[in-house]
Amino acid sequence: MTIVGVVLLYLGVLNAALSLGSGTCTGGSADELVGGLYSLALYLLGWLLIYFSNRKTISFLVFVPLIPVAWWQLHFVMTLGYGFFLANLGACTVLGHGDFTNGAAEGWFDGRETFFFFIWLAANLAFLLGAVASYFMPRTIRSS
């Protein structure tokens, strides 16, 4: 169960990297950000399997190389939140696909920026809190 959980975490990280790094925002649509749903599901399932396994130290050591990814995802969530809620920018502009002319962002809003923000925030929280819960929760609580 531990190995499957770790593989799911790494698949979630790979999906996050592909979702945030491979889109083109063709026609002003930031569809690549929907990948946050898949990463969220992979993180939750992976941590759930690790949570119920008996090899929490090994799984936590395998998680350590993924810590920079958590920082990268947190940076993206904060950038998306700042760009949309405070700077009035669309998701494509925040992803780096928009043009800036005279300080104003050109391009279209996708219309799902709020949804994307909360999905990626949930994925990031699942990633970080899953590590804490699976490693630091007492065994008596985990087994009941």
Q: How far apart are CA 25 and CA 8, in angstroms?
A: 27
Structural domain for 60, as ranges: 2-143
Residue 96: its H or E element: none
How confident is the model over 79-125, as pLDDT tens digits?
888 888 888 888 877 777 544 444 444 556 778 888 989 999 999 99
How confident is the model over 2-30, as pLDDT tens digits?
889 889 999 999 998 888 877 777 766 77
pTM of the model: 0.82
* Domain tally, the chain: 1
CA distances for 78 relative to 57, 92, 94, 121, 140, angstroms: 30, 15, 11, 9, 36
What residues does 38 pair with on adjacent strands?
none
DSSP SS3 for 75 = helix
pLDDT reported for residue 144 = 46
Q: Where are the alpha helices (DSSP H) in 1-144?
A: 2-21, 35-51, 56-63, 67-81, 91-94, 113-136, 139-143
